[in-house]
């Protein structure tokens, strides 16, 4: 048109000028083409006049695939080489590059955006944990009670009740009870080589000492009254020295087993990353613990459990012995209760082997079981004596004496007294009590519930 400059490019072509139309929906005519921009050397587009599907205001991307987010890899789409699907690196994988994920090392886990690996946090049973507070509280109460009982026995060492209880084995048993409480602190302490070594030593030693002493006591009672049915001669190896020797030999078996364990598998610490390796890597934890398997723990306690079962058998055999001559029944009640405690312990211990809380449940179960076993023995065997010593000293006196023959005769007749009068000789039960102790100056029995007194040496029945 007039006044318009006409120009040509180097190819002799005039520059193009184009209008850009968009087919839009209108309120009046329904739909029409509307100019939304021009192109003349440069693009001029009025974005605010454009219409997009679903009323969106943003300009849609005109590509087949969007960029992947951090922690995602590009997975190629078959038949579409320029397109991909974004796939998250899951589990314990991290984004190695744009197209691949790699698995972290067994002691590592991916970070929050899965661009690299980081160490898995290491945990242990803490002192302030609820799993530790309960057994520690029970152990502290038990230690205080054990020290109190031991101090009372030492203070009244020469009184009839303490002497009647068999002082030597009583102190051995108290030592075992004390060690059963101490193991709680070793099981909760931070594992290192020294702590792991002490765990191996004392894990079964406290129980072994306790039940070795009780087994020696019940075996002695059984032998005395069994032989008393046949002869008035005292059985062998019933002196305090013999009892200590027998108990020591039983304990030495446990110590020998521990030494073999040390030689075959020296104590060490490990970090178990499988115990709490959860589906969510952010919750994964490594457990610092001693290199002791569940089977090794049971084997360490196995000998003590064998002593416990044997002691229970002897307690059953001596349940009918006259109460005036021994405390077989309190020992029996102690062993029955202890067996119940450990029968409950075993299924709980092994039933939680696959639990994420295995460390806490097994440690707490083991320590509480040992605390309860020690408390049962302390409460049933010692507290009644301490009660009499402190609150009823008038009962802590020496009473009349009987001959040893009277004791064994009473043991023999205890079964006959249950017979009908018609079945007894002359219709009555006869005993051979010595009315005059001086007639038999070599052997006397003090009529204390738990003590045989000889003029040349004293032999406690338990």
Which tokens hold the place of 129?
Answer: 């944990």
Confidence category of residue 2, pLDDT binned at 50, 70, 90: low
Name residues whose C-beta falls within 8 Å of residue 3's C-beta, 6 or more positions apart in sequence: none
Three-class DSSP category at 448: strand
Three-class DSSP category at 79: coil
Using alpha carbons, select from 321, 314, 108, 292 the residue that is nearest to residue 187.
292
Spatial separation of the C-alpha atoms in residues 376 and 336, rounded to whole Å: 10
pLDDT digits (tens, 9 = 90+) for 178-215: 999 999 999 999 999 999 999 999 999 999 999 999 99
Spatial separation of the C-alpha atoms in residues 82 and 66, rounded to whole Å: 11
pLDDT digits (tens, 9 = 90+) for 134-153: 999 999 999 999 999 999 99
Spatial separation of the C-alpha atoms in residues 173 and 95, rounded to whole Å: 62
Average pLDDT over residues 318-329: 67
Spatial separation of the C-alpha atoms in residues 403 and 398, rounded to whole Å: 15
The top-level CATH class assigned to 124-395 is mainly alpha
Q: What is the pLDDT of residue 452?
A: 38
Where is pLDDT greater, at 357 or 130?
130
Angle at 134 (CA atoms; ends 128, 138), nearest 5 degrees: 125
DSSP string, 85-130: EEEE--TTEEEEETTEEEEPPTTEEE-TTSSSEEEPPEE---TTSH
Average pLDDT over residues 2-10: 71
Max CA distance (Å), the chain: 162
Q: How far is CA 265 from the centre of its chain?
A: 22
Which tokens hold the place of 28?
Answer: 């009046």
Lowest mean pLDDT among 4-18, 184-198, 341-355: 4-18
Domain segments of the chain: what residues? 18-55, 74-119, 124-395, 401-460
Backbone angles phi, psi at 17, to 5 degrees: -140, 125
Residue 324 near residue 449 (C-beta atoms within 8 A): yes
Q: What is the pLDDT of residue 459?
A: 40
Spatial separation of the C-alpha atoms in residues 293 and 311, rounded to whole Å: 28
Q: Is 221 exposed, middle or buried (0-12, 13-18, 19+ CB in 10 A)?
A: buried
71: left (phi over 0), alpha (psi -120 to 50) or beta: left
Q: Half-sphere exposure of 374 toward its Cβ, with a 13 Å CA cutoff?
A: 34
Which tokens hold the place of 279?
Answer: 């589906």
Lowest mean pLDDT among 31-35, 251-255, 339-343, 382-386: 31-35
Q: How many residues does the chain have?
A: 462
**Beta strands per DSSP E along 267-383:** 269-276, 285-290
Residue 212 near residue 251 (C-beta atoms within 8 A): yes
Q: Give the position of tokens 């002497």.
A: 163
Residue 95 near residue 72 (C-beta atoms within 8 A): yes
pLDDT over 70 for what percent of the chain? 81
Spatial separation of the C-alpha atoms in residues 221 and 328, rounded to whole Å: 8
**pLDDT over 60 at 20, yes or no:** yes
Name residues whose C-beta falls within 8 Å of residue 115's C-beta, 6 or more positions apart in sequence: 70, 71, 94, 95
Confidence category of residue 453, pLDDT binned at 50, 70, 90: very low
Q: What is the pLDDT of residue 409?
A: 54
Q: How far is CA 100 from the centre of its chain?
A: 43
Q: What is the pLDDT of residue 195?
A: 95
DSSP class of residue 443? B
Mean pLDDT of the chain: 81
Q: Is 74 exposed, middle or buried (0-12, 13-18, 19+ CB in 10 A)?
A: middle
Using alpha carbons, select from 305, 327, 292, 315 the residue that is nearest to residue 462.
327
- C-beta neighbour count of 116 within 10 angstroms: 12
């Amino acid at each position: 048109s007039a006044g318009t400059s006409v120009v040509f490019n180097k190819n002799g072509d005039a520059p193009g000028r184009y209008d850009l139309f968009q087919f839009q929906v209108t309120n009046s005519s329904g739909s029409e083409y509307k100019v939304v921009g021009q192109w003349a050397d440069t693009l001029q587009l009025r974005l605010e006049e454009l219409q997009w599907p679903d009323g969106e205001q943003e300009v849609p991307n005109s590509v087949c695939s969007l960029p992947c987010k951090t922690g995602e890899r590009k997975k190629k789409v078959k038949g579409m080489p320029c397109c991909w699907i974004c796939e998250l690196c899951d589990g314990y994988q991290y984004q190695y590059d744009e197209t691949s994920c790699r698995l972290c090392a067994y002691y590592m886990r991916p970070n929050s955006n899965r661009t690299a690996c980081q160490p898995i946090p290491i945990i242990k049973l803490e002192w302030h944990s609820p799993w530790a507070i309960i057994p520690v509280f029970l152990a502290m109460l038990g230690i205080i009670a054990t020290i109190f009982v031991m101090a009372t026995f030492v203070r009244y060492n020469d009184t009839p009740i303490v002497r009647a209880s068999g002082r030597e084995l009583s102190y051995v048993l108290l030592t075992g009870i004390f060690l059963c409480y101490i193991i709680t602190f070793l099981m909760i302490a931070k594992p290192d080589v020294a702590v792991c070594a002490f765990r191996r030593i004392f894990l079964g030693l406290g129980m072994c000492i306790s039940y070795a002493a009780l087994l020696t006591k019940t075996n002695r009672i059984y032998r005395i009254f069994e032989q008393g049915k046949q002869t008035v001669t005292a059985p062998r190896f019933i002196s305090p020295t013999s009892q200590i020797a027998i108990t020591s030999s039983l304990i030495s078996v446990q110590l020998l087993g521990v030494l073999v364990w040390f030689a075959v598998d020296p104590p060490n610490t490990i970090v178990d990353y499988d115990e709490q390796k959860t589906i969510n890597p952010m919750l994964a934890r490594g457990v610092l613990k001693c290199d002791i398997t569940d089977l090794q723990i049971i084997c360490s306690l196995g000998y003590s459990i064998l002593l416990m079962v044997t002691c229970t058998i002897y307690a059953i055999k001596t349940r009918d012995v006259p109460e005036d001559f021994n405390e077989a029944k309190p020992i029996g009640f102690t062993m029955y209760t202890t067996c119940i405690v450990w029968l409950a312990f075993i299924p709980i211990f092994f039933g939680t082997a696959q639990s994420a809380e295995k460390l806490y449940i097994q440690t707490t179960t083991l320590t509480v079981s040992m605390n309860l076993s020690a408390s049962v023995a302390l409460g049933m065997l010692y507290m009644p004596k301490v009660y009499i010593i402190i609150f009823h000293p008038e009962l802590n006196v020496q009473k009349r004496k009987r001959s040893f023959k009277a004791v064994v005769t009473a043991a023999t007749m205890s079964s006959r007294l249950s017979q009908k009068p018609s079945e007894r000789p002359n219709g009555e039960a006869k005993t051979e009590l010595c009315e005059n102790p001086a007639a038999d100056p070599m052997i006397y029995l003090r009529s204390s519930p738990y003590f045989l007194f000889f003029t040349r040496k004293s032999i406690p029945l338990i």
